[in-house]
Structure 1
Amino acid sequence: MFWLGTILATVLSCVVIAVVILYQKRLKEYQITLLKQRLSIILEAEHKERARIARELHDGVCSELLCVINYLQIIKLYQDKKTKKDALKQIKKISLNCYKQLQVLSYHLAPPHIKDNALECIFSDFINLIKKSTTIEFSYHYTDASFQIKEKEKLILYRVVQELVQNIIKHSSASKVSLKLVWEQDKLIILISDNGVGYDSDFKSDNAKKGIGLSNIHARLKEINARFKHIREDNSNTIGIYFENQDNKSSNSR
């Protein structure tokens, strides 16, 4: 009986060890698959963003530079002073417009001073730049910051707000948009409100059918353990991003 009990205990131990090893292997495979899916979403979103910028450069800046070349030809061919003066005036106007377009595009590609500037200053510059390129009325408010945010976290929050604002401009038919940064003791709440028609933002599960823009936002926010909430009413939409100071939580748990 003793040997039988020993054999059964050994077999049971081997089975338990095998189950644990199999579980760990499958868990690791699932985590790798999930990571690949998130990476794929982000890469696809970045590819679409590059395509959008290339399209805007081609349709906007390149077309206007072609007009500048045509006006330069007019200056070269015509001797009439008034014609030359009018052509120079148009060249100045087009060049200024090209400069504004390139300024907006370059800011979207790489917002300056992410590392050194506070998040509220970065968003202030962003909103001021957006105001120059749209007729939508923007307002911006923030409370005093209560903790420091790392460079990676600032960049992700900036990219998410940038994507959401672009979605509002393109799809919501809004005439007014407000951005608010509410700092609490160990939490930052970013609220984006508009008076447009809204759009689908079901973030309840990873398997939900979402557009690539919203999927990208979802993946980015997961990187910094931030939450997303969308409140839709009859004549308004409010998007809330909730970010907790992980450093403060870690120090409190020790």
Structure 2
Amino acid sequence: MLSTILVYMSLLFQVLAAAIAISLFKRTKFNASWILISTGFILMVVSRIFELFPTIYPEWEEELAVVQKCLAFVISLVLLIGVFYIRKIFQFMRRLDEIRRETENKVLSAVIRTEERERQRFAKELHDGLGPLLSVVKMLLSGLSGDAKPEVNEKIKQNLKQAVDEAIISVRDISANISPHILNNFGLKDAVDSFIKKLRSAKALDISFTTNIGNRRFGYNVEVIMYRVICELINNTLRHAEADKIRIELKLTDEIIYLTYTDNGIGFDVSRQATKYGMGLDNMQYRLKSGNGGIEIMSERGKGMQAKAFIKL
């Protein structure tokens, strides 16, 4: 009686093992070695079932014994071959680890490059914008004197006030570039509109911006990521593309923000120059992937550039 119970329990365990092995087919990409091992488990279940037959059909005991031996041989052979080829699974896992490390290294390099570029840009703006104004303020202050004529001191004070006003404006511009107050206070649409208006007033550039998001607000990360990507795409066009037309479309569909950006510039070879094109495709991909999004850039020499990006809410 006890032996029969143990046989039934072992049969149950082997059925469970076979079911689990089969359920892992997709995860192992239908690897041949795993299929062989799973087949071995299935054959073991079949063998265990044949062990129960003599209790039901005693007259078949000799024939079933032969079948059992044949099954044992096949099971051993299948498991041996499966174990021999299972190393392919470990090779596959090792390759996945290598790809993951390479991706992490690329992302880290992209982050470092972006941070360094932002630091350099910030330092340049301080040096070229605020530095000269502060030098002028210092020079004007040194010119003030109690022995000078009142009209001379008054002129110096006027110039000093003008220089301080310009320094305040410069600080505001630098602050807006680092963290645009319009984006924080009014949202993505108004921030992009404001950025484009500044460009239109400074450059002879035809920029079209259409969107259906209205005044809807999104999460902080979503707004910052999409705003930075749009600004970088525009800056890259201004620096490299020699374009006079830019088209920007921002659409909200099924809780996903889609960006379509095109220019009529000189274009470039994406496979060769993506990482050199401004902040680089890797950096933009990192920004968007950090927000559950992505970007694809398409371009050919002489045919402009198109970028399609999305970010999920």
- Interval containing the TM-score (normalised by the shorter chain): 0.7 to 0.9
Aligned match of 1:46: 115
Q: Distance in 2 between matches of 1:85 and 1:118?
A: 44
The count of residues paired between Structure 1 and Structure 2 equals: 239
Could you tell me how far 1:69 is from its partner in structure 2?
Answer: 0.7
Could you tell me how far 1:46 is from its partner in structure 2?
Answer: 1.4
Q: Does 1:181 align with 2:246?
A: no
Aligned match of 2:127 in 58, 66, 73? 58
Aligned match of 2:165 in 96, 114, 130? 96
Ranked by relative contact order (alpha carbons within 8 Å, sequence separation 6 or more), the top structure is: 1
Q: Give the secondary-structure state (helix, strand or coil) at the position aligned to 1:183.
A: strand
Q: Distance in 2 between matches of 1:77 and 1:138?
A: 54
RMSD: 3.5
Q: Does 1:108 align with 2:177?
A: yes
Q: Give the secondary-structure state (helix, strand or coil) at the position aligned to 1:228.
A: strand
Change (3 A) 1:116 1:25: farther
Q: Distance in 2 between matches of 1:93 and 1:237?
A: 43
Aligned match of 1:210 in 271, 275, 282? 275
Aligned match of 2:187 in 97, 118, 126? 118
Change (3 A) 1:69 1:193: farther
Aligned match of 2:212 in 136, 144, 154? 144
Query: Which residue identity does 2:280 align to in structure 1?
Result: L
> Would you say the 8 A contact 1:131–1:137 is kept in 2?
yes
Aligned match of 2:307: 240
TM-score by length of 2: 0.62
Structure 1 unaligned blocks of 5 or more:
248-254
Q: Which has the higher helix share?
A: 2
Could you tell me how far 1:40 is from its partner in structure 2?
Answer: 1.0
1:112-164 per-residue CA deviation (whole Å, 9 max, x = no partner) reads: 375664321221233345567x3445645333228875432322211111222
Q: Give the secondary-structure state (helix, strand or coil) at the position aligned to 1:213.
A: coil
Aligned match of 2:66: none
Could you tell me how far 1:167 is from its partner in structure 2?
Answer: 2.5
**Structure 1 stretches of at least 4 aligned residues deviating more than 6 Å after TM superposition:** none
Query: Which residue identity does 2:279 align to in structure 1?
Result: G
Q: Distance in 1 between matches of 2:125 and 2:76?
A: 73
Query: Which residue identity does 1:210 align to in structure 2?
Result: T
Q: Distance in 1 between matches of 2:85 and 2:203?
A: 66
> Would you say the 8 A contact 1:120–1:181 is kept in 2?
no
> Would you say the 8 A contact 1:189–1:241 is kept in 2?
yes
After alignment, is 140-149 or 5-14 more displaced?
A: 140-149
> Would you say the 8 A contact 1:124–1:140 is kept in 2?
no
Q: Does 1:33 align with 2:102?
A: yes
Q: Distance in 1 between matches of 2:179 and 2:159?
A: 30
Aligned match of 1:251: none
Q: Distance in 1 between matches of 2:107 and 2:171?
A: 30
